[in-house]
Structure 1
Amino acid sequence: MTVSRRTMLRGAAAGAIVAGAAVAVPGTASATGGGRWWRRRVPKDKISIQLYTLRSIMENDVEGTLSALADIGYRKVEMAGTYGRSAREFRGILDRHHLRATSTHMGIDGDINQAIEDAKILGNRKSDVAWASFPTIAEWQDFAERLDAAGRAYRRAGIEFGYHNHGHEFQRIDGVRPYDVITRCTKRRNVNLEMDLFWVIDGGADPVREFYRIAGRVNQYHVKDRTPDGNFADLGEGTIDFAHIFRATWPLEVDEYIVENDEPVDPLKCAETGYNYLRNLRF
């Protein structure tokens, strides 16, 4: 059954209150930075959304969901699969709704040549490995070598290649953090980092410190909020002080600020709340 845009958007927050507490500090901080008006803002053309956030409705209605995102104001999306469509078919749907899939999540073990060809058809400028997990540092080192080789192939094809973190990469194995293995064992020109801010904090790290440890390699943020007890939250409804993070890292501004929630209660409301939060945020 086709889901109409009007039905899908009914009940979405028209003017979401965007308030969030500073990281690990009680109290709230408004989207204007605790009442102070800052000049900087996230450029509209750098706002995107990870379609994994909307997977529950994408599975039933790709066209209607993408149309609704366009109505909210999105012009960019990050993909996580094509929901049974070919790359060319999915590109056609995107084009009809004036959306660009500038980025995509992918695996590393499939046919890399086909993945690159699909990325070109879809118009992806960036491709990121979405997940990896290994019990030993030796396996992480092997993975980093494969990551670098894949990145070299993507670079030659004119597509930026990167890795998207979760929290476990910041947990030490025999005294070594897998995240450090990835950054040390891959070349800057081959592998960028898509920093998921929720997972960096959940892994016990400081996103600003991590950003500058690998200065120049972070070109995408996953902007995902976190409740005090570590659950997912729509943007502005959790405890992460995004204004502080963006202000502190602005000298090396990233290319995309990608809205995401792994477990949204209402995917389209989450999408609209996230878009409005980033549009209204001042830092």
Structure 2
Amino acid sequence: MVNQQKNIGINLWSIKEHLTTIEEADESLRRLAEAGCSAVELCLISEMPDAQTMKRLCDRYGLAVCGLHDMTVLENPVASLQAAKTVGSGFVSFPYPQGRDLSDPDQVSTLVEELNEAGRVLYENGVTLTYHNHQVEFARADGALVLDRLVTETDPRTVQFQLDLYWVQLGGGNPVQWCKNLEGRLPQLHVKDYAIGADGQPCSCAVGKGNLSWAELVDHFDGKQLIIEQELYTSDPFDELAEGIRFLSSFGS
């Protein structure tokens, strides 16, 4: 087994097609551990085994649970808190503002209120809420960048951020600058590389094979949980994820 890198994890959305049964999940987590992965971020979706089962399998292979992605955390933070406690995670991430029109400033205000309330519930019970961005937060509502509003209007004690480098780049932002902007509120980074595919469209790729400014980004790795996410593969997904782990490990992560 490759030595596990203590702050490099994998978001399991990356291999969701290989987690549809308990048997598949067992084999997939074994392969991640053998690749040097030390932690995984669970996704609370019906297509995967339940959180308790995933925790049991993670324990079997020495994998920590570094976070949860839960679409329901804003509407039911108590249930998310219970799930986090079940798997031993100190973080729950709100992964996507589905069904919200972020060009509407009133809907952004509502999102801020919901983040603050859910963040308070988790914070008071020893768990941290993080907000996971996509490109949609780089829209403007009444001239204000949505991500700026989320940063300035949420409570810095109770709402942290999980910056996804790929989506920052796709949204027209500067990933390095946003790491600086969020310093002190950025316990986790979603490490998803940015490439241009054969069809000329943006796509993810094995970490280190794309166009992100790694020489500058590495300065912002210290003290952060790095979570690899990849959605497009040209070969075996586990081999490409292992390649990403080796790349990040080369920086002394």
3-state DSSP of counterpart to 2:67: strand
3-state DSSP of counterpart to 1:70: helix
- 1:27 maps to none
- Equivalent position amino acid for 2:210 in 1: G
Distance in 1 of aligned mates of 2:96 and 2:56: 28
1:182-220 alpha-carbon deviations (Å, 9 max, x no partner): 111111111001000111111111122222223311111
Q: CA deviation at 1:282?
A: 5.9
TM-score, L = length of structure 1: 0.79
Q: CA deviation at 1:110?
A: 4.1
- Equivalent position amino acid for 1:71 in 2: E
Q: CA 1:166–1:159 in 2, change beyond 3 Å: closer, same or farther?
A: same
1:89-119 alpha-carbon deviations (Å, 9 max, x no partner): 2211111111111211112344321221111
- Equivalent position amino acid for 1:260 in 2: E
Matched ranges for 1:74-153 at <5 A:
74-81=37-44, 83-107=47-71, 108-132=73-97, 133-134=100-101, 135-153=103-121
Distance in 2 of aligned mates of 1:80 and 1:86: 10
Gapped runs of 5+ residues in structure 2?
none
The structure whose RCO (Cα within 8 Å, separation 6+) is larger is: 1
Q: RMSD of the alignment, in Å?
A: 2.0
Distance in 2 of aligned mates of 1:119 and 1:282: 29
Q: Confirm or deny: 8 A CA contact 1:162 1:191 kept in the other structure.
A: yes
Q: Confirm or deny: 8 A CA contact 2:19 2:49 kept in the other structure.
A: no
TM-score, L = length of structure 2: 0.87
Q: Confirm or deny: 8 A CA contact 1:234 1:264 kept in the other structure.
A: yes
- 2:214 maps to 242
1:144-197 alpha-carbon deviations (Å, 9 max, x no partner): 110011011111110111100011211223211110111111111110010001
Residue 193 (structure 1) aligned with residue 154 (structure 2): no
Gapped runs of 5+ residues in structure 1?
1-13, 15-42
Match of 1:56 among 4, 9, 17: 17
Matched ranges for 1:150-229 at <5 A:
150-228=118-196, 229=201
Q: CA 1:216–1:109 in 2, change beyond 3 Å: closer, same or farther?
A: closer
Q: Which has the larger radius of gyration?
A: 1
3-state DSSP of counterpart to 2:202: coil
Q: CA deviation at 1:124?
A: 0.8
Select between 123-132 and 106-115 the one with higher mean Cα deviation. Answer: 106-115
Select between 45-54 and 207-216 the one with higher mean Cα deviation. Answer: 207-216
Q: Confirm or deny: 8 A CA contact 1:200 1:207 kept in the other structure.
A: yes
Q: CA deviation at 1:129?
A: 0.3
Identical amino acids, percent of aligned pairs: 25
Q: Confirm or deny: 8 A CA contact 2:105 2:141 kept in the other structure.
A: yes
